[in-house]
Protein backbone atom coordinates (compact mmCIF):
# COMPACT_ATOMS: atom_id res chain seq x y z
CA UNK A 1 0.00 0.00 0.00
CA UNK A 2 1.38 3.40 -0.94
CA UNK A 3 0.54 6.81 0.45
CA UNK A 4 -1.40 8.97 -2.07
CA UNK A 5 0.26 12.17 -0.87
CA UNK A 6 3.09 12.15 -3.38
CA UNK A 7 2.92 15.93 -3.74
CA UNK A 8 4.04 16.16 -0.12
CA UNK A 9 7.45 14.85 -1.18
CA UNK A 10 7.96 17.66 -3.69
CA UNK A 11 6.85 20.21 -1.14
CA UNK A 12 9.17 18.82 1.52
CA UNK A 13 12.11 18.84 -0.91
CA UNK A 14 11.63 22.53 -1.65
CA UNK A 15 11.17 23.47 2.00
CA UNK A 16 14.27 21.43 2.89
CA UNK A 17 16.34 23.47 0.44
CA UNK A 18 15.11 26.70 2.02
CA UNK A 19 15.89 25.38 5.51
CA UNK A 20 19.45 24.60 4.41
CA UNK A 21 19.76 28.07 2.92
CA UNK A 22 18.72 29.80 6.14
CA UNK A 23 20.96 27.56 8.25
CA UNK A 24 23.93 28.72 6.19
CA UNK A 25 23.02 32.34 6.98
CA UNK A 26 23.15 31.77 10.75
CA UNK A 27 25.77 33.62 12.78
CA UNK A 28 28.88 31.67 13.76
CA UNK A 29 27.85 31.26 17.42
CA UNK A 30 24.65 29.36 16.47
CA UNK A 31 25.48 28.03 12.98
CA UNK A 32 26.33 24.52 14.20
CA UNK A 33 23.00 24.25 16.02
CA UNK A 34 21.07 25.58 13.03
CA UNK A 35 22.80 23.20 10.62
CA UNK A 36 22.17 20.19 12.87
CA UNK A 37 18.46 21.08 12.95
CA UNK A 38 18.42 21.64 9.18
CA UNK A 39 20.03 18.27 8.47
CA UNK A 40 17.35 16.45 10.47
CA UNK A 41 14.49 18.51 9.04
CA UNK A 42 11.16 16.95 8.15
CA UNK A 43 7.86 18.77 7.69
CA UNK A 44 6.16 18.96 11.11
CA UNK A 45 2.79 17.38 11.84
CA UNK A 46 0.03 17.78 14.39
CA UNK A 47 -1.24 14.42 15.66
CA UNK A 48 -4.95 15.23 15.78
CA UNK A 49 -5.67 11.48 16.00
CA UNK A 50 -4.76 11.57 19.70
CA UNK A 51 -7.93 13.56 20.36
CA UNK A 52 -8.49 15.32 23.67
CA UNK A 53 -5.99 13.03 25.40
CA UNK A 54 -3.19 15.16 23.94
CA UNK A 55 -4.66 18.41 25.23
CA UNK A 56 -6.25 21.31 23.32
CA UNK A 57 -5.21 22.60 19.89
CA UNK A 58 -1.60 23.89 20.20
CA UNK A 59 -1.22 27.65 20.63
CA UNK A 60 0.87 28.00 17.49
CA UNK A 61 -2.20 27.04 15.44
CA UNK A 62 -4.43 29.69 17.04
CA UNK A 63 -2.11 32.74 17.19
CA UNK A 64 -2.45 35.05 14.18
CA UNK A 65 1.04 36.53 14.63
CA UNK A 66 4.24 34.85 15.83
CA UNK A 67 7.69 36.04 16.84
CA UNK A 68 10.52 34.42 14.89
CA UNK A 69 14.26 34.59 15.56
CA UNK A 70 16.06 35.00 12.23
CA UNK A 71 19.40 33.25 11.57
CA UNK A 72 21.16 36.58 12.19
CA UNK A 73 19.66 36.72 15.68
CA UNK A 74 17.13 39.48 14.98
CA UNK A 75 13.52 39.12 16.16
CA UNK A 76 10.74 39.51 13.61
CA UNK A 77 6.95 39.36 13.94
CA UNK A 78 5.32 37.39 11.12
CA UNK A 79 1.86 36.34 10.03
CA UNK A 80 1.41 32.75 11.23
CA UNK A 81 0.95 30.47 8.18
CA UNK A 82 -0.24 27.68 10.50
CA UNK A 83 -3.15 29.92 11.56
CA UNK A 84 -4.21 30.64 7.97
CA UNK A 85 -2.54 30.41 4.58
CA UNK A 86 -3.84 32.09 1.45
CA UNK A 87 -3.24 30.08 -1.68
CA UNK A 88 -2.96 31.33 -5.22
CA UNK A 89 -6.52 31.59 -6.61
CA UNK A 90 -5.69 29.19 -9.45
CA UNK A 91 -4.54 26.51 -7.00
CA UNK A 92 -7.35 25.62 -4.56
CA UNK A 93 -6.26 25.52 -0.94
CA UNK A 94 -6.58 21.90 0.14
CA UNK A 95 -3.06 21.44 1.51
CA UNK A 96 -3.39 21.82 5.26
CA UNK A 97 -1.25 20.91 8.26
CA UNK A 98 -3.42 17.87 8.87
CA UNK A 99 -2.30 16.34 5.56
CA UNK A 100 1.18 15.87 6.94
CA UNK A 101 -0.22 13.78 9.77
CA UNK A 102 -2.17 11.68 7.27
CA UNK A 103 1.11 11.02 5.45
CA UNK A 104 2.54 9.94 8.81
CA UNK A 105 -0.40 7.63 9.54
CA UNK A 106 -0.03 6.00 6.12
CA UNK A 107 3.69 5.56 6.78
CA UNK A 108 2.97 3.90 10.14
CA UNK A 109 0.45 1.54 8.53
CA UNK A 110 2.92 0.60 5.81
CA UNK A 111 5.61 -0.01 8.42
CA UNK A 112 3.21 -2.29 10.32
CA UNK A 113 2.26 -4.21 7.19
CA UNK A 114 5.27 -4.45 4.86
CA UNK A 115 3.70 -7.52 3.23
CA UNK A 116 0.64 -5.64 1.98
CA UNK A 117 1.46 -3.86 -1.29
CA UNK A 118 -1.18 -1.99 -3.26
CA UNK A 119 -3.60 -4.62 -4.59
CA UNK A 120 -5.14 -4.47 -8.07
CA UNK A 121 -8.22 -2.26 -7.98
CA UNK A 122 -10.64 -0.83 -10.54
CA UNK A 123 -10.92 2.95 -10.24
CA UNK A 124 -14.48 2.98 -11.63
CA UNK A 125 -15.54 6.41 -12.85
CA UNK A 126 -12.71 8.19 -11.04
CA UNK A 127 -10.42 8.59 -14.02
CA UNK A 128 -8.29 11.65 -14.70
CA UNK A 129 -5.97 13.00 -17.38
CA UNK A 130 -3.57 10.09 -16.73
CA UNK A 131 -5.95 7.18 -16.15
CA UNK A 132 -9.09 6.23 -18.06
CA UNK A 133 -12.31 5.37 -16.29
CA UNK A 134 -12.54 1.72 -15.19
CA UNK A 135 -8.75 1.34 -15.39
CA UNK A 136 -7.16 -1.20 -13.05
CA UNK A 137 -4.29 0.10 -10.94
CA UNK A 138 -1.75 -1.88 -8.93
CA UNK A 139 1.65 -1.54 -7.29
CA UNK A 140 3.37 -1.13 -10.66
CA UNK A 141 1.09 1.61 -12.02
CA UNK A 142 3.08 4.67 -13.06
CA UNK A 143 2.45 7.67 -10.82
CA UNK A 144 2.29 10.29 -13.53
CA UNK A 145 3.62 12.94 -13.73
CA UNK A 146 6.22 12.13 -11.03
CA UNK A 147 9.39 11.12 -12.83
CA UNK A 148 12.52 9.58 -11.29
CA UNK A 149 15.85 11.28 -11.78
CA UNK A 150 17.14 8.02 -13.24
CA UNK A 151 14.31 7.87 -15.79
CA UNK A 152 10.82 6.41 -15.85
CA UNK A 153 8.03 7.19 -13.40
CA UNK A 154 7.64 6.35 -9.75
CA UNK A 155 5.25 3.52 -8.85
CA UNK A 156 3.41 2.71 -5.58
CA UNK A 157 5.87 -0.13 -4.97
CA UNK A 158 8.77 2.35 -5.26
CA UNK A 159 7.42 4.66 -2.58
CA UNK A 160 6.11 2.28 0.08
CA UNK A 161 8.58 3.68 2.62
CA UNK A 162 9.20 7.38 3.21
CA UNK A 163 12.92 6.66 3.69
CA UNK A 164 13.11 6.39 -0.08
CA UNK A 165 12.93 10.18 -0.03
CA UNK A 166 15.20 10.68 2.94
CA UNK A 167 12.74 11.29 5.78
CA UNK A 168 10.98 9.27 8.47
CA UNK A 169 8.63 9.77 11.40
CA UNK A 170 9.36 8.87 15.04
CA UNK A 171 7.32 5.67 14.73
CA UNK A 172 8.93 4.59 11.43
CA UNK A 173 12.51 5.70 12.02
CA UNK A 174 15.00 2.86 11.51
CA UNK A 175 18.38 4.52 11.87
CA UNK A 176 17.83 6.16 8.51
CA UNK A 177 20.41 8.80 7.53
CA UNK A 178 19.22 12.38 7.32
CA UNK A 179 18.15 13.59 3.90
CA UNK A 180 21.44 15.22 3.02
CA UNK A 181 23.44 12.23 4.28
CA UNK A 182 21.31 9.91 2.18
CA UNK A 183 21.79 12.01 -0.94
CA UNK A 184 25.54 12.33 -0.39
CA UNK A 185 26.08 8.69 0.51
CA UNK A 186 24.23 7.28 -2.48
CA UNK A 187 24.97 9.93 -5.07
CA UNK A 188 26.07 8.26 -8.28
CA UNK A 189 24.71 4.84 -7.34
CA UNK A 190 22.06 3.32 -9.49
CA UNK A 191 18.59 2.60 -8.18
CA UNK A 192 19.23 -1.07 -7.40
CA UNK A 193 22.23 -0.21 -5.22
CA UNK A 194 20.16 2.32 -3.28
CA UNK A 195 17.46 -0.25 -2.58
CA UNK A 196 20.07 -2.75 -1.36
CA UNK A 197 21.48 -0.14 1.02
CA UNK A 198 18.10 0.33 2.63
CA UNK A 199 17.44 -3.42 2.84
CA UNK A 200 20.72 -3.91 4.74
CA UNK A 201 19.60 -1.44 7.40
CA UNK A 202 16.18 -3.08 7.70
CA UNK A 203 17.82 -6.36 8.78
CA UNK A 204 18.80 -4.76 12.11
CA UNK A 205 15.33 -3.48 12.98
CA UNK A 206 11.96 -5.11 13.51
CA UNK A 207 10.21 -2.07 12.15
CA UNK A 208 6.79 -3.68 12.01
CA UNK A 209 6.84 -4.55 15.72
CA UNK A 210 8.12 -1.11 16.67
CA UNK A 211 5.44 0.65 14.63
CA UNK A 212 2.73 -1.55 16.12
CA UNK A 213 4.00 -0.84 19.62
CA UNK A 214 3.89 2.89 18.91
CA UNK A 215 0.27 2.64 17.78
CA UNK A 216 -0.65 0.67 20.91
CA UNK A 217 1.02 3.20 23.20
CA UNK A 218 -0.29 6.30 21.43
CA UNK A 219 -3.85 5.44 20.49
CA UNK A 220 -5.24 2.80 22.83
CA UNK A 221 -4.39 3.91 26.42
CA UNK A 222 -7.61 5.88 26.92
CA UNK A 223 -9.77 3.02 25.63
CA UNK A 224 -7.87 0.47 27.72
CA UNK A 225 -8.14 2.60 30.83
CA UNK A 226 -11.87 3.17 30.39
CA UNK A 227 -12.56 -0.49 29.66
CA UNK A 228 -10.54 -1.86 32.56
CA UNK A 229 -11.45 0.80 35.13
CA UNK A 230 -14.92 -0.65 35.87
CA UNK A 231 -16.59 2.77 35.57
CA UNK A 232 -18.90 3.95 38.35
CA UNK A 233 -22.51 4.65 37.37
CA UNK A 234 -25.69 5.47 39.29
CA UNK A 235 -26.24 1.75 39.73
CA UNK A 236 -22.70 1.04 40.95
CA UNK A 237 -19.56 -0.10 39.14
CA UNK A 238 -19.75 -1.90 35.80
CA UNK A 239 -17.39 -4.68 34.75
CA UNK A 240 -16.80 -4.27 31.03
CA UNK A 241 -13.90 -6.69 30.59
CA UNK A 242 -13.83 -10.37 31.54
CA UNK A 243 -10.49 -12.18 31.33
CA UNK A 244 -9.19 -9.38 29.17
CA UNK A 245 -12.06 -9.67 26.67
CA UNK A 246 -14.84 -7.24 25.80
CA UNK A 247 -17.44 -6.79 23.03
CA UNK A 248 -16.57 -4.26 20.34
CA UNK A 249 -19.37 -2.59 18.37
CA UNK A 250 -19.46 -0.93 14.95
CA UNK A 251 -21.71 0.07 12.05
CA UNK A 252 -20.97 -1.71 8.76
CA UNK A 253 -21.87 0.58 5.84
CA UNK A 254 -22.32 -0.07 2.12
CA UNK A 255 -23.37 2.12 -0.79
CA UNK A 256 -24.01 1.55 -4.50
CA UNK A 257 -21.85 4.25 -6.04
CA UNK A 258 -23.70 4.99 -9.28
CA UNK A 259 -27.05 5.55 -7.53
CA UNK A 260 -25.77 8.24 -5.14
CA UNK A 261 -24.30 11.73 -5.47
CA UNK A 262 -20.56 11.68 -6.14
CA UNK A 263 -20.09 13.32 -2.73
CA UNK A 264 -22.19 12.35 0.28
CA UNK A 265 -21.84 12.35 4.06
CA UNK A 266 -23.61 10.06 6.51
CA UNK A 267 -23.77 11.36 10.09
CA UNK A 268 -24.60 8.76 12.74
CA UNK A 269 -26.23 10.00 15.94
CA UNK A 270 -27.58 8.80 19.28
CA UNK A 271 -30.84 10.66 19.94
CA UNK A 272 -31.65 12.06 23.35
CA UNK A 273 -34.41 10.86 25.68
CA UNK A 274 -36.54 13.88 24.80
CA UNK A 275 -36.94 15.92 21.63
CA UNK A 276 -35.30 18.89 23.35
CA UNK A 277 -32.19 16.85 24.25
CA UNK A 278 -29.14 17.25 21.97
CA UNK A 279 -28.10 14.27 19.88
CA UNK A 280 -24.71 12.66 20.42
CA UNK A 281 -22.48 12.59 17.32
CA UNK A 282 -21.20 9.01 16.91
CA UNK A 283 -19.19 9.45 13.72
CA UNK A 284 -19.43 10.23 10.02
CA UNK A 285 -18.90 8.34 6.80
CA UNK A 286 -17.64 10.68 4.08
CA UNK A 287 -17.36 9.86 0.40
CA UNK A 288 -15.92 12.89 -1.39
CA UNK A 289 -15.31 13.19 -5.12
CA UNK A 290 -14.82 16.25 -7.35
CA UNK A 291 -18.05 17.84 -8.57
CA UNK A 292 -16.88 17.35 -12.14
CA UNK A 293 -17.35 13.60 -11.72
CA UNK A 294 -21.12 13.94 -11.21
CA UNK A 295 -22.27 14.09 -14.84
CA UNK A 296 -19.66 11.54 -15.91
CA UNK A 297 -20.96 9.17 -13.23
CA UNK A 298 -24.54 9.51 -14.52
CA UNK A 299 -23.53 8.94 -18.17
CA UNK A 300 -21.27 5.96 -17.61
CA UNK A 301 -22.91 3.94 -14.83
CA UNK A 302 -22.15 0.67 -16.61
CA UNK A 303 -20.19 -1.05 -13.84
CA UNK A 304 -21.41 -1.67 -10.31
CA UNK A 305 -19.12 -0.17 -7.69
CA UNK A 306 -19.78 -0.61 -3.99
CA UNK A 307 -18.32 1.60 -1.29
CA UNK A 308 -17.80 -0.01 2.12
CA UNK A 309 -16.73 1.36 5.47
CA UNK A 310 -17.03 0.86 9.22
CA UNK A 311 -17.89 3.34 11.97
CA UNK A 312 -16.82 2.40 15.50
CA UNK A 313 -19.50 2.62 18.20
CA UNK A 314 -17.58 1.38 21.23
CA UNK A 315 -16.19 4.72 22.38
CA UNK A 316 -19.64 6.37 22.21
CA UNK A 317 -21.20 3.42 24.05
CA UNK A 318 -18.58 3.72 26.79
CA UNK A 319 -19.55 7.39 27.20
CA UNK A 320 -23.19 6.35 27.56
CA UNK A 321 -22.26 3.76 30.20
CA UNK A 322 -20.30 6.37 32.12
CA UNK A 323 -23.32 8.70 31.94
CA UNK A 324 -25.55 5.97 33.38
CA UNK A 325 -27.64 5.63 30.19
CA UNK A 326 -26.42 2.13 29.24
CA UNK A 327 -25.78 -0.85 31.51
CA UNK A 328 -22.95 -2.66 29.71
CA UNK A 329 -21.40 -3.60 26.35
CA UNK A 330 -23.31 -6.89 26.30
CA UNK A 331 -25.69 -7.49 23.40
CA UNK A 332 -28.68 -7.77 25.77
CA UNK A 333 -28.14 -4.11 26.70
CA UNK A 334 -26.63 -2.61 23.55
CA UNK A 335 -29.04 -4.00 20.94
CA UNK A 336 -32.25 -2.55 22.43
CA UNK A 337 -30.44 0.70 23.27
CA UNK A 338 -29.20 1.19 19.69
CA UNK A 339 -32.54 0.08 18.23
CA UNK A 340 -34.13 2.97 20.12
CA UNK A 341 -31.38 5.59 19.88
CA UNK A 342 -29.30 5.09 16.71
CA UNK A 343 -30.24 7.37 13.83
CA UNK A 344 -28.52 8.90 10.82
CA UNK A 345 -28.64 11.78 8.37
CA UNK A 346 -27.40 11.59 4.80
CA UNK A 347 -26.17 14.84 3.29
CA UNK A 348 -25.23 15.73 -0.26
CA UNK A 349 -22.05 17.61 -1.08
CA UNK A 350 -23.84 20.97 -0.80
CA UNK A 351 -24.95 20.19 2.76
CA UNK A 352 -28.61 19.54 1.96
CA UNK A 353 -30.27 16.33 3.18
CA UNK A 354 -30.82 13.40 0.86
CA UNK A 355 -34.55 12.47 1.00
CA UNK A 356 -35.37 9.17 2.70
CA UNK A 357 -36.85 7.86 -0.53
CA UNK A 358 -33.36 8.09 -2.07
CA UNK A 359 -31.59 6.06 0.62
CA UNK A 360 -32.19 2.71 -1.07
CA UNK A 361 -28.58 2.38 -2.32
CA UNK A 362 -27.34 2.69 1.28
CA UNK A 363 -27.15 -0.16 3.78
CA UNK A 364 -26.30 0.19 7.48
CA UNK A 365 -25.94 -2.76 9.83
CA UNK A 366 -24.72 -2.93 13.43
CA UNK A 367 -22.15 -5.66 14.07
CA UNK A 368 -20.10 -6.82 17.04
CA UNK A 369 -17.02 -8.91 17.67
CA UNK A 370 -14.95 -10.02 20.64
CA UNK A 371 -11.79 -8.08 21.39
CA UNK A 372 -8.90 -8.89 23.72
CA UNK A 373 -6.74 -6.45 25.69
CA UNK A 374 -3.22 -7.89 26.16
CA UNK A 375 -1.30 -7.24 29.38
CA UNK A 376 1.65 -5.86 27.41
CA UNK A 377 1.01 -2.16 26.70
CA UNK A 378 3.11 -2.45 23.52
CA UNK A 379 0.70 -5.01 22.07
CA UNK A 380 -2.41 -3.69 20.29
CA UNK A 381 -5.94 -4.76 21.11
CA UNK A 382 -6.72 -7.85 19.02
CA UNK A 383 -10.08 -8.51 17.39
CA UNK A 384 -11.77 -11.81 16.59
CA UNK A 385 -12.49 -12.53 12.94
CA UNK A 386 -15.94 -13.82 13.94
CA UNK A 387 -18.43 -11.01 13.36
CA UNK A 388 -21.94 -11.14 14.82
CA UNK A 389 -24.60 -9.23 12.87
CA UNK A 390 -27.50 -7.47 14.58
CA UNK A 391 -29.91 -6.58 11.73
CA UNK A 392 -32.76 -5.85 14.14
CA UNK A 393 -31.09 -2.59 15.17
CA UNK A 394 -31.55 -0.89 11.79
CA UNK A 395 -34.39 -2.99 10.34
CA UNK A 396 -37.39 -0.95 9.23
CA UNK A 397 -35.41 2.30 8.93
CA UNK A 398 -34.38 3.92 5.64
CA UNK A 399 -30.95 2.46 4.95
CA UNK A 400 -31.43 -0.38 7.40
CA UNK A 401 -31.14 -4.08 6.60
CA UNK A 402 -33.86 -6.69 6.59
CA UNK A 403 -34.16 -8.46 9.94
Indicate the domain borders of the chain. 6-117+160-208, 220-393
Q: What confidence score (pLDDT) does residue 176 get?
A: 45
Note if the bond before 145 is cis, omega within 30 degrees.
Answer: yes
Question: Is the pLDDT reported for residue 141 higher than 70?
Answer: yes
Can you tell me the mean pLDDT for 45-52?
76
pLDDT at 303: 55
Question: What's the mean pLDDT in 47-67?
Answer: 78
Residue 356 has pLDDT above 50, yes or no: yes
Q: What residues contact residue 222 under an 8 Å CB cut-off, 6+ apart?
A: 51, 53
User: Which pLDDT belongs to residue 54?
Assistant: 62
pLDDT computed for residue 191 by the predictor: 45
What pLDDT is recorded for position 260?
80
CB 370, CB 247: distance < 8 Å:
yes
CA dihedral 72, 74, 75, 76 (to 10 degrees): -80
Average pLDDT, stretch 69-84? 86
pTM (2 decimals)? Answer: 0.67
Is 187's pLDDT higher than 50? no
pLDDT of residue 129: 84
More confident residue, 195 or 144: 144
Q: What is the mean pLDDT of residues 39-51?
A: 81
55-59, 96-100, 380-384: least confident range: 96-100
User: What band does 96 get if pLDDT is binned at 50, 70 and 90?
Assistant: low
* Contact (CB, 8 A) for 40 and 198: no
How far, CA to CA in Å, does 166 sit from each of 16, 172, 177, 181? 11, 12, 7, 8
Query: Mean pLDDT in the chain?
Result: 80
Q: Which pLDDT score is estimated for 180?
A: 47
Above 50 in pLDDT, residue 37?
A: yes
User: pLDDT > 90: what percent of the chain?
Assistant: 25
- Averaged over 294-318, what is the pLDDT? 74
Q: What pLDDT is recorded for position 232?
A: 62
Low-confidence winner among 35-44, 117-126, 221-230, 250-259 (lowest mean pLDDT)? 221-230
For the chain, give the number of residues. 403
| pLDDT class of 290 with cuts at 50, 70, 90 | low
Which of the pair, 157 or 276, is modelled with greater confidence? Answer: 157
Please tell me the number of Cα atoms within 13 Å of 378 on its side-chain side. Answer: 6
Lowest mean pLDDT among 2-16, 165-179, 188-202, 329-343: 188-202
Note the pLDDT of residue 251.
96
| More confident call, 304 vs 260 | 260
Residue 263 has pLDDT above 60, yes or no: yes
CA distance linking residue 72 with residue 245, whole number of Å: 59
Reported as a pLDDT band with limits 50, 70 and 90, residue 282 is very high
Give the residue-averaged pLDDT of 16-38. Answer: 90
Q: What is the pLDDT of residue 151?
A: 87
pLDDT tier at 120 (50, 70, 90 boundaries)?
Answer: very high
How far is Cα 162 from Cα 38, in angstroms, rounded to an integer? 18
Is 204's pLDDT higher than 80?
no
Give the whole-angstrom CA distance, residue 242 versus residue 245: 5
Amino acid sequence: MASPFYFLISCQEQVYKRVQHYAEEATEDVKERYQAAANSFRLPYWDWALGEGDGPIPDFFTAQMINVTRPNGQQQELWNPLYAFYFHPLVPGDFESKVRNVDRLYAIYQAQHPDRPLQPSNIGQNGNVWLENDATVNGNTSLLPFRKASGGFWTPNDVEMTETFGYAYPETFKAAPHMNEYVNEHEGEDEEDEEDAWEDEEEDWDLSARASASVARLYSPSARNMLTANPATAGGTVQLVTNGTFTDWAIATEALAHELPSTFIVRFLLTGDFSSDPSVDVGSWVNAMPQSHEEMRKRTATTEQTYKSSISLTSSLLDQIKAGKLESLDAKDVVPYLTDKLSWRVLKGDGTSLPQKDLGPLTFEVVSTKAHIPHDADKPISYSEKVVKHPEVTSGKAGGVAA
